[in-house]
Amino acid sequence: MTRHFLDLEPTLENQWRAIILFGRNAASYKFALSKALLSLSPSGELIKLEELALPFAREVCAHLKIAPRQATNSSSRFLEACKRWNAGELTDDQLRNATAKLGFVNVIDAFHNLDARELPNRFFVDERRTNGGIRLTDDFWRLNSASSPEGLKHETESRWRLVETAWELGLSRSLIAFDDQTEDLFVSQSHRRQAVTSCRHALNGYQKGHCFYCFAPISIVPGETTLADVDHFIPHVLKRFLPGNLDGVWNLVLACVDCNRGTDGKSDRIPSVTLLSRLHARNEYLIQSHHPLRETLMLQTGRSAQERSRFLQAIHTEAKQLRIHDWKPEQRGSAVFDVN
Q: Tell me the angle at which helices 29-38 and 149-169 cross, rounded to the nearest 10 degrees.
A: 160
The pTM of the full predicted model, rounded to 2 decimals, is: 0.91
How far is residue 238's CA from residue 269's CA, in Å, rounded to a whole number?
Answer: 10
In sequence order, which residues have a C-beta less than 8 Å from that of residue 188 and are 6 or more positions away? 175, 177, 194
Computed on alpha carbons and rounded to an integer, the radius of gyration of the chain in Å comes to: 21
How far is residue 40's CA from residue 57's CA, in Å, rounded to a whole number?
Answer: 14
Read off the pLDDT band of 72 (50, 70, 90): confident
Q: What is the pLDDT of residues 73-122, one digit of tens each?
A: 777 999 999 999 999 999 999 999 999 999 999 999 999 988 666 788 99
pLDDT score at 171? 61
Calculated CA dihedral for residues 212, 213, 219, 221, nearest 10 degrees: -70
What's the mean pLDDT in 22-51?
Answer: 89
pLDDT score at 27? 83
Beta-strand relationship, 270-271 and 326-327 = parallel
